[in-house]
Amino acid sequence: MDSIKLSDKQLALIEKLGLIFENGLQPASARIAALLLVSDKLELTFDEIRELLNLSKSATSNALNLLLSMERIEYITKPGDRKRYFKSNLSDWKENMKTKFLEFDKVHKTMREVLDQRPHSTKDFNQGLEEFINFMEFMNREIPVLFKKWELSKK
């Protein structure tokens, strides 16, 4: 039953990637996300994941459902097989990355609010802050342009 095995290299990569993914994911989810990128077999069942990563059923269940809800993974089923086969959702990751890039739209808007309520007396500081805000706005404008440029360069 424990037929799939991970090489030491793969285990090391899962740990490394897992650590990266822990920025934004809890450990178990992070390691599952990593596993589904690293493993030779791309579609793994609940129990395979559980055993490969030494997780409890509950931890596995919760972590998988979290990843599903974030659309970072998805699953397929096979006819005459009750199990679900989980796999990484690469295409959605690109979307995620884009939105992540534009996420700091919120930041610059709040910063603008901060600036708007500042007294005139702190002119230098306000100017510095404004420059920073302008910089963020600039990035917000230009990054979508970069995305387009990328799409074009692919053809």
Q: Which of 78, 77, 74 is nearest to 88 (CA)?
A: 74
Position 11 contacts a copy of itself (CB under 8 A): no
Position 123 contacts a copy of itself (CB under 8 A): no
Q: Which of 104, 108, 129 is nearest to 118 (CA)?
A: 129
Tell me if 99 sits within 8 A of 72, measured CB to CB: no
Minimum CB distance to DNA smaller for 38 or for 55: 55
Structure tokens at 52: 């490969």
Position 56 contacts DNA (CB under 7 A): yes
Q: Which of 69, 76, 79, 119 binds a copy of itself (CB under 8 A)?
A: 119
Position 27 contacts DNA (CB under 7 A): yes
Minimum CB distance to DNA smaller for 22 or for 130: 22
User: Which segment (2-10, 24-32, 128-136, 146-154) binds DNA by CB under 7 A?
Assistant: 24-32
Q: What does 17 interact with, of DNA, a copy of itself, none (CB < 5 to 8 A by kind)?
A: a copy of itself
Is the CA virtual torsion 143, 96, 22, 37 positive or negative? negative
Position 83 contacts DNA (CB under 7 A): yes
**Residue 102 burial (CB count, 10 A):** 14
Binding track, positions 124-143, relative to a copy of itself; x by CB under 8 A: -x--xx-xx--xx-xx--xx
Rounded Cα distance between 68 and 60, Å, is 12
User: Which segment (41-49, 91-99, 107-115, 146-154) binds DNA by CB under 7 A?
Assistant: 41-49
Q: Which of 67, 69, 79, 81 is nearest to 28 (CA)?
A: 67
Which run of H or E residues covers position 86? strand 81-88
Which residues of this protein are in contact with DNA, per CB under 7 A? 26-29, 45-47, 54-65, 80-84
